[in-house]
Amino acid sequence: MAKVWRKRKAPASIPGRCRRPPSTRAVAGVTVLEADALECGVCCLPLSPPIFQCQVGHVVCFRCRYKLWLTGAGKCHVCGVAVAAYRRCRAMERLVASIRVACPHAAHGCTFLPAYHDLDAHRLVCRHAPCHCPGDACGFVGSAAALLDHFAAAHNWPCTTNVRAGEMVSAHLRDGFTFLRVHHHRRGSATFSDHLIMLNVTREPLGRAISVLCIRPHAAEQPAMQCELLFVSRFGYNGDGDMCRSHYQKSEFHIGCTDLADGLPDRKQCFQFVVPWCVLEDDDQGGIQIKVRITIN
CATH number assigned to the domain comprising residue 200? 2.60.210
* Residue 240 and residue 122 in one domain: no
* Res 231: pLDDT: 94
Comparing CA positions, the residue from 142, 176, 143 lying closest to residue 159 is 176
Q: Is residue 153 part of a domain?
A: yes
Is the predicted pLDDT of residue 175 greater than 70, yes or no?
yes
Range of the domain at 72: 35-99
* Residue 78 and residue 124 in one domain: no
* Res 14: pLDDT: 47
Query: Which one is predicted more confidently, 14 or 159?
Result: 159
* Residue 45 and residue 119 in one domain: no
Instruction: Evaluate if pTM is beyond 0.95.
Output: no
Q: Is residue 13 part of a domain?
A: no
Comparing CA positions, the residue from 235, 256, 253 lying closest to residue 244 is 235
- Find how far residue 80's CA is from the centre of its chain: 44
* Res 224: pLDDT: 87
Mention every residue, 6+ apart, whose C-beta is less than 8 A from residue 227.
197, 212, 252, 253, 254, 255, 292, 293, 294, 295
Domains: count for the chain: 3
pLDDT tens by residue, 51-81: 998 888 888 888 888 887 777 666 777 777 7
* Residue 160 and residue 290 in one domain: yes
Angle at 96 between CA 94 and CA 101, to 5 degrees: 130
* Residue 62 and residue 108 in one domain: no
* Residue 108 and residue 119 in one domain: yes
Q: Is residue 62 part of a domain?
A: yes
* Residue 164 and residue 124 in one domain: no
Average pLDDT, the chain: 81
* Res 190: pLDDT: 62
Is the predicted pLDDT of residue 23 greater than 60, yes or no?
no
Query: Which one is predicted more confidently, 111 or 124?
Result: 111
* Res 70: pLDDT: 72
What mean pLDDT do residues 130-139 have? 91
Q: Which has the minimum average pLDDT: 15-19, 21-25, 189-193, 282-286?
A: 15-19
Beta bridge pairs of residue 53: 59, 87
Percent of the chain with pLDDT over 90: 31
- Find how far residue 270's CA is from the centre of its chain: 22
* Residue 142 and residue 269 in one domain: yes
* Residue 268 and residue 147 in one domain: yes
Query: Which one is predicted more confidently, 9 or 171?
Result: 171
Percent of the chain with pLDDT over 70: 78
